[in-house]
Amino acid sequence: MNLIDFTIIPINNLSIKKIVDDNDEKETDLLVKIMLNRLGIVI
């Protein structure tokens, strides 16, 4: 999976839960931060 290929991804509990289930913790944290950052949300 190439993180740079992500554009706008809908953020909801199901999608985040799926990401958590599919990736280890570090990758999940990075992926969620990148997804939110693309939507203009900084955490």
pLDDT digits (tens, 9 = 90+) for 1-43: 555 455 455 555 556 666 556 556 677 788 888 888 888 766 5
- All structural domains of the chain with their residue ranges: 3-38
For 20, residues 6+ apart whose C-beta sits below 8 A from its C-beta are: 28
Q: Whole-prediction pTM value?
A: 0.35
* pLDDT recorded at residue 42: 63
pLDDT for residue 37: 83
What pLDDT, on the 0 to 100 scale, is given for residue 36?
82
**How far is Cα 25 from Cα 14, in angstroms, rounded to an integer?**
17
Token couple for 15: 């999608």
Question: What is the pLDDT, as a whole number, of residue 3?
Answer: 55
Which 3 state secondary structure label does DSSP give 10?
coil
